[in-house]
Amino acid sequence: MICMKNLESIKIRQIYPHPITKLLLRAIHELPNLKQLHICILRHDNVGKILLRNCRSLTALRILHISKEVSSSSLRNILTFLPELQELSFYIDRSTESPLLVCYRNQRTSLTTIFDFLASKQTLRVLRVKGQITANYEAQSLANIKSLRDLDCSFNNPKLVIYLTSLTSLQSLQITYLHHIDISATYLEVIRQCKDLRVLRLFDCNINPDFVNKASEVLNQNESKNTLQLLIHGWHDTDTLNDFKAKASASNNLRLLSVTAFDLLTL
C-alpha cells in the first residue's frame, strides 16, 4: 500500500468493458501523490461519474488526459478538485450517433464552462482539445485562457481561428482546419501577435509556398529572436514541396517541415 500511495503516474487503457475498470478508477482516491493520469476507456458509460466521485484527493495532479467517455459536463466538475493542473487533453463528441448525446444537451454550458473555469484559474499551460470548436462563444472562451503555452485545437469555421491572436503567450500551436477557404492571412496575424511562438503546426490544404516568405517577413517585423518551426500538412505534389523547401532555405528565422497528407497515412 505504501508503494501505491507513492505512485505519480498511471495510464488506464481498455477497449472492451471489464469489471476491473471500476476497481481501477475507484482506487485513484488512494493516490494523493498522483501527478499524471491518462484514461483511455472505450464503451463505458459511467467513467466520468466514477472519476468524479474518486478524484477529490488528486490535489497534486499536474497532467490529465481523458477519452470521450468522460463528458464535458463531468469534466467541468472534476476540474474543481485539481488545483495544480497544468496539462489537459479531452475529447468533444458532437456525433448524433454517439451514446453520449444526453451528456451534451447543453453544449454551450458544458464546453464553455470548462474554458471559462480554466481561464479563471490561469494555471493551465498545455491544452489539447480533440473535436471541433464550432461557435463564436466557444472560441472566445478558449481565447481567455491566457496562461496557455501549448495549444492543439480544431475549427470548422474560418472566422473562429482569429480568436487565437489573443493567446500571446503561446510557444507551440497546432491547428487543424479542413475547409476550402484560405485563411493564410489569419495564420500570419497569429504569428504577428504571438511573438513567443516557436512551433506552428498546420493541418490545412490551402497553404501555398508564398506563405513561407510572408511568415518570414512577419518574423522580421517582430524582430523575433526565435526560429519558428513551421510544419504544414496537406495535399502537395513534388514540385510544390520543392517550392516550399526552396523558400524556407532562404529564410534565417524559419525552419520548414512540410508533410503531405499521403505521407501522414504511411507514418
Distance CA 85, CA 201 (A): 24
Instruction: Count other Cβ atoms within 10 Å, centred on residue 30.
Output: 13
Residue 41 grid coordinates: 476507456
C-alpha cell, 128: 489539447
> Which residue has cell 517585423?
221
Q: What angle do CA 61, 64, 68 make, to 5 degrees?
A: 150
Per-domain boundaries in the chain? 1-146, 149-267
**Measured torsion, CA atoms of residues 190, 194, 197, 200, in degrees rounded to the nearest 10:** -10
Place of cell 532562404: 250
- pTM as predicted: 0.86
What pLDDT is stored for residue 51 in this prediction?
A: 86
- Model pLDDT, residue 103: 43
Distance CA 200, CA 209 (A): 15
pLDDT tens figures, 244-258: 888 888 888 888 875
User: What are the distances in angstroms from CA 130 to CA 1, 15, 84?
Assistant: 35, 19, 22
DSSP for 67-105 reads: -TTS-HHHHHHHHTT-TT--EEEEE----TT-TTGGGGT
pLDDT means per 10 residues, the chain with 267 residues, are: 72 76 80 90 72 88 88 84 95 57 50 93 96 94 97 96 97 93 96 96 91 93 88 81 83 77 46
Run of H or E residues at 117: helix 107-121
- Return d(Cα 267, Cα 265) in angstroms, integer: 6
CATH of 1-146, one of 3.40.50.12780, 3.80.10.10, 3.30.565.10, 3.40.50.620: 3.80.10.10
Distance from C-alpha of 50 to C-alpha of 17, rounded to nearest angstrom:
14
Distance CA 6, CA 24 (A): 16
Q: What is the DSSP string of 150-198?
A: EEEEEES-TTTGGGGGG-TT-SEEEEEE--SS--HHHHHHHHHH-TT--
Helix (H), strand (E) at residue 210? helix 210-222
Residue 35 and residue 80: Cα distance in Å, rounded? 16
Residue 2: helix, strand or coil by DSSP?
helix
Q: Which three cell numbers stand for residue 59?
A: 490535489
Compute the residue count for the chain: 267
Task: Round to the nearest angstrom and report the end-to-end CA distance of the chain.
Answer: 42
